[in-house]
Structure 1
Amino acid sequence: ASTPAYEEKTTQPNKQKDEPKAGAKNNDGKVYVPGFGWVEDQGDNKGNTSESDGDWNKQVGSMD
């Protein structure tokens, strides 16, 4: 049996010519997210503070 021979081709990645840049906004108030398309703008990021002391070794529940 002989090994198969393939014609060598140069390939280019698929590019959307009219794809907006990440973070672009449209007239409907939506934001473009690559891979997801147009999504509702949720506003600025919000941070919260945790009340945990950060000890991951605490037991949860009862160990009878």
Structure 2
Amino acid sequence: MPSPLSPAQISEIVEMALSDHVSFAQISAQHGVTPDEVKVLMRTELKPGSYRAWRKRVRDFGDRRAHYK
């Protein structure tokens, strides 16, 4: 990550990543973090089961839509 993120920025990134309507590209444009960095952040911020459910949802949507996350 380019610079340490504030708790408010972390919270906003997590909220955006959990949304089904915000892509990784939009998160990257707004906060300057890569999709891999978002995944690492989500892994540290969410409970293990919540992280797995989120990744499954992102993967499933990505299989159905070409331009999802």
State the TM bucket, normalised to the shorter chain.
Answer: under 0.3
Higher strand fraction (1 or 2) = 1
TM score, norm. by length of structure 1: 0.20
Larger gyration radius, structure 1 or structure 2: 1
TM score, norm. by length of structure 2: 0.20
Which of structures 1 and 2 has the larger relative contact order (alpha carbons within 8 angstroms, sep 6+)?
A: 2
Higher helix fraction (1 or 2) = 2
